[in-house]
Structure 1
Amino acid sequence: MQSNESLLKDYVGWLVHECCASYFKLHNLKHAICGVHILRELQALADSGDKQSCRKRCKTFNCFRLIKL
């Protein structure tokens, strides 16, 4: 395997991933972020003390019940 691009060059459709920047360089694909990774990032934001940003993002994803603020 040479690179992610060579692996996915003929693929069309959705790529679900953990939001690694290199995946977004694959412009021929539709992107979806893994739900578990979104929750981990939101929990890390809450744990960092930035409650206001966390609440705003939880509202966007409708996931208040899943994050310990």
Structure 2
Amino acid sequence: MPIMSLKAHYDGRHILLDEPFQLPTNAQLIVTVLEPEVLEERDAWADLAASGLTRTYGDDEPEYTIDDLKP
């Protein structure tokens, strides 16, 4: 199984995945506890990146063809 990160939370008794994911029985996991400030900063950077992509690939962006590429 490839190494991947999955969002999860602790409900006071168990660690629960935030989205469904099929894990094999006895799969080995590494749990990293993040401070809320770290998550807020990460989310702020993700929002900034998404807004930049939205501006870059907006509806008014022209469709480029292969002829538009310069060597």
TM-score (norm 1): 0.21
Higher-helix-fraction structure: 1
Larger Rg: 2
> More relative contact order in 1 or in 2 (CA 8 Å, sep 6+)?
1
